[in-house]
A and B are shown apart, each in its own frame.
Chain A
Amino acid sequence: MEGKFAYVTTLLIIIWIALIYSPNITTEAFLEELVAGVIISIGVAAITSKNFEGLGIKYLHPKRIAYFIAFFFVFLKEMVKANLNMARIVLSPKLPVKPGIVEIETDLKLPSAKLFLGNAITLTPGTMTIDYSNNRAYIHWVYVESTEPKKAGEIIKGKFERLLKEVSS
């Protein structure tokens, strides 16, 4: 409980500093803003921190952070690939699409891990998360390669899920 509160407060203060930073701010003004930010962060964290799941000091283990950074880079690479693919589909005269909504299963337990998986699926090649119900996700696919949940899942979420499992387990 206490860990969660400290975690949310620190996160809010970091976001606040990123927002108030500007190239030629005076030290005095920066300190004033910082004090206001600390007070507001503590207030907001006191009200909201009990609603968050999957936060806490134990998630700051170096191994988890390393896997999260790996996830981020894989995500960036897949995103660039997705966009080149989409540009190719959009510009080709015959418009090679074969759309459909498929169903896949995921083993991830934490809601925040599921959110990251869903966002990663939406921004990568030809797939878009439409809905979650428990551990099933419904994915819209521009070019359906398989309607079998296992096989489709392997194609769509393969790498991401393995990395996120290391982060969240």
Chain B
Amino acid sequence: MIEQILDYVGMIFVFIGSLFFLFGTIGLVRMPDLYNRMQASTKTTTLGVLSFLFGIGLMQLQWMIKLLVIALFIVLTAPVGASALARASHNAGIKLWEKSVVDKYEERKK
């Protein structure tokens, strides 16, 4: 009985996770410049993986510890990678979208 309920709750989490993957990649295609794309894809796919792994863990309770280790690792590293990539691209001279309102980072470099 309880296993059935956990199974269904897990399915809901897995479904939400895969929907967030879809939103993230739609953002990746639609957003106008690199930095906005990075925001859309990094945030949504990170939460997507979290939700997905948690859902699978609810289905297979014995696997939960390992899945949480993977999830923790992704949460800790995804933003670091995104920041490093954003800074490197800015220093490599990739411009913001022409309708951007302000760029304090560019001003600092002068």
Q: Is A82 an interface residue (CB 8 A)?
A: yes
The reply to whether B79 and A118 form a contact with Cβ atoms under 8 Å apart is: yes
CA distance A97 to B31 in the complex (A): 9
Q: Which residues of A contact B75 (CB under 8 A)?
A: 123
Q: A21-B66, A90-B27, A119-B80 are in contact. Are A99 and B101 (CB under 8 A)?
A: yes
Instruction: Say which residue of B42, B62, B87, B101 sits within 8 Å of A130 (CB atoms).
Output: B87
Max count, chain B CB within 10 A of own CB: residue among A23, A86, A95, A115: A86
The reply to whether A99 and B96 form a contact with Cβ atoms under 8 Å apart is: yes
Distance to closest chain B CB from A83 (angstroms): 5
The reply to whether A87 and B20 form a contact with Cβ atoms under 8 Å apart is: yes
Q: Is the interface of A mostly helix, strand, loop or mixed?
A: mixed
B33 closest partner in A (C-beta): A99
The reply to whether B101 and A129 form a contact with Cβ atoms under 8 Å apart is: no
Q: Is A61 an interface residue (CB 8 A)?
A: no
Q: A99-B101, A101-B104 are in contact. Are A87 and B44 (CB under 8 A)?
A: yes
Per-residue contact bits, chain B 17-48, to A (CB 8 Å; 1 contact, 0 not): 00010010011001111011011101110110
Q: Which residues of A contact B15 (CB under 8 A)?
A: none
Interface size class of A (residues with CB under 8 A): 35 or more
Per-residue contact bits, chain A 91-133, to B (CB 8 Å; 1 contact, 0 not): 1000101111111000000000001001100110011111101
Interface size class of B (residues with CB under 8 A): 35 or more
Max count, chain B CB within 10 A of own CB: residue among A100, A103, A126: A100
The reply to whether B102 and A128 form a contact with Cβ atoms under 8 Å apart is: no
Q: Is A22 an interface residue (CB 8 A)?
A: yes
Q: Is A18 an interface residue (CB 8 A)?
A: yes
Max count, chain B CB within 10 A of own CB: residue among A83, A98, A115, A129: A83
Q: A83-B43, A99-B33, A99-B35 are in contact. Are A131 and B96 (CB under 8 A)?
A: no
Q: Is B86 an interface residue (CB 8 A)?
A: yes
Q: Is B76 an interface residue (CB 8 A)?
A: yes
Distance to closest chain B CB from A130 (angstroms): 5
Per-residue contact bits, chain B 97-110, to A (CB 8 Å; 1 contact, 0 not): 10111111110100
Distance to closest chain A CB from B98 (angstroms): 11
Distance to closest chain B CB from A54 (angstroms): 16
| A residues neighboring B (CB under 8 Å) | 15, 18-19, 21-23, 79-80, 82-83, 86-87, 89-91, 95, 97-103, 115, 118-119, 122-123, 126-131, 133, 138, 140, 142, 144, 147
